[in-house]
Structure 1
Amino acid sequence: MSTTNKSKSPMITTGSKPATRSGTPTNGDLMQAITGMQASQSSQFRELQMSLASVTKQLADLKSDNLVLRNEVSSLAARIAILETDHIVPANDDLPTKVLREISERNSCDLSVIAYDVPESSSSSPNQRIIDDTTELSKALSSINTTLPTDIKVVRLGGHLSKKPRPLKLIFKSKDEAANLLLKFRQSIRNGCNISNSLRLVRDKTSLERQLLRSSHAELERRKQAGELNLVVKYINGVPSVTRMQPKNGAAGQR
């Protein structure tokens, strides 16, 4: 039985490239994806830089606030030590408690300003008295081109013990409003502005500050009666103290 060998035909190839399979990314697709990733990373980096700058600023503000608080605590501790020396505050009262109480009261006082010599309303209506007091105060402040906020609260302090107007407490919504009013008032006084009705504005004081001030004035009177001259109450490191008046420029050389 004979077998026949069949020769296979050779495959014919051409010079053309094989077709790209469907879904395979091209170089253009890859470059577009890389560009998109770079843009996204650049955006995220900018956001990170902005966040870092914000955190850095907040940290600086926190350090500043902490320094102010530490200084206030040191000042309060010094005042309390003076009070305890003068036997004004019982020695068995806990110092940290007094410091915290003073800080809390100080924060409240920072919202307030005390006004003196503001004509007092004679109305029997509480609401009308508030309106009259606010109007009188606004008139007095008009001489320094200052207007009061509409949401301010005014309260008369003390009872009717004399014909003199009672002090008027101004309570603001923010510490900045109270501080700005005091600053503008003091600048006007230094510039020789004629304040109507002999108006006086001072910052509100805590109970401890009032005790210290009364103690200093009592000491001033005792020393004056003992024959000491040229004494005055002056704030030194935030604490009222009795000290001698410094001679004015030129007076020291006159003998």
Structure 2
Amino acid sequence: MRKTQDATLAQCKALSLSFNKKFCELQASVDSLASKIVDIRADNTSLRNELSTLNNSISVIESDVGKLPSSSGDNIPQLLQELSEREKCSFNAIVHGLIESSATIPTERLSDDLQHLSESILPLAMSLPADVKMIRLGRTFGKNPRPLKVIFSSKITSQQFIK
């Protein structure tokens, strides 16, 4: 009978140690969760403040929209012209700092510009398409070269040149 009591006591002691270990693990988990809750509350407060700021900004923008002049039929042609101009510009690239020809004949200047531009992009493993058009912008001023407007036949070619 003493042996069964000792065995029962040993089992109770082992169970008690196991429960204590599990309780300590549970307590550590609860402490971890409590600290995470504090962090989440701080984040929540921060998000609420940001949301309030955004709502105020939206209110200001919405009130300003009412102050804008209404779009009338007179603005539509102007808008279409602006869109058309932007579309045309997407075919162009502007090159700055390219040596300007000293030739007086326009075709020679164009030929020189084409040669200088081709030489400039050669190290980049690029070449100019055959149908490219070029125009010097502005007037000659001192020794600084004028920008060169390069007009391509497509947007894709222009974008590839710019990249």
TM-score with structure 1 setting the length: 0.35
Matched-pair identity in %: 37
Which amino acid is 1:141 matched to? I
Q: Is 1:121 paired with 2:73?
A: no
Which amino acid is 1:122 matched to? S
The alpha-carbon distance between structure 1 residues 121 and 103, as it changes in their structure 2 partners (threshold 3 A), is: same
The number of equivalent residue pairs is 93
Q: Which runs of 4+ in 1 moved over 2 A?
A: 92-95
Q: Secondary structure of the residue that 2:135 maps to in structure 1?
A: strand
Q: Which residue of 2 aligns with 1:133?
A: 113
Q: Is 1:155 paired with 2:141?
A: no
Q: Which residue of 1 aligns with 2:150?
A: 170
The alpha-carbon distance between structure 1 residues 93 and 140, as it changes in their structure 2 partners (threshold 3 A), is: farther
Which of 104, 117, 125 lines up with 2:84 in the alignment? 104
Q: Deviations over 1:232-255 (max 9, x none)?
A: xxxxxxxxxxxxxxxxxxxxxxxx
C-alpha deviation, 1:93, in angstroms: 10
Q: Deviations over 1:195-215 (max 9, x none)?
A: xxxxxxxxxxxxxxxxxxxxx
| Root-mean-square deviation (Å) | 1.9
More helix per residue: 1 or 2?
A: 2
Q: Secondary structure of the residue that 1:121 maps to in structure 2?
A: coil
More strand per residue: 1 or 2?
A: 1
Q: Secondary structure of the residue that 1:170 maps to in structure 2?
A: strand
Q: Deviations over 1:12-45 (max 9, x none)?
A: xxxxxxxxxxxxxxxxxxxxxxxxxxxxxxxxxx
Structure 2 unaligned residues grouped into runs of 5+: 1-67
TM-score with structure 2 setting the length: 0.54
Q: Deviations over 1:37-57 (max 9, x none)?
A: xxxxxxxxxxxxxxxxxxxxx
Counterpart CA distance in 2 for 1:181 and 1:114 is 11
The alpha-carbon distance between structure 1 residues 141 and 93, as it changes in their structure 2 partners (threshold 3 A), is: farther
C-alpha deviation, 1:119, in angstroms: 0.2
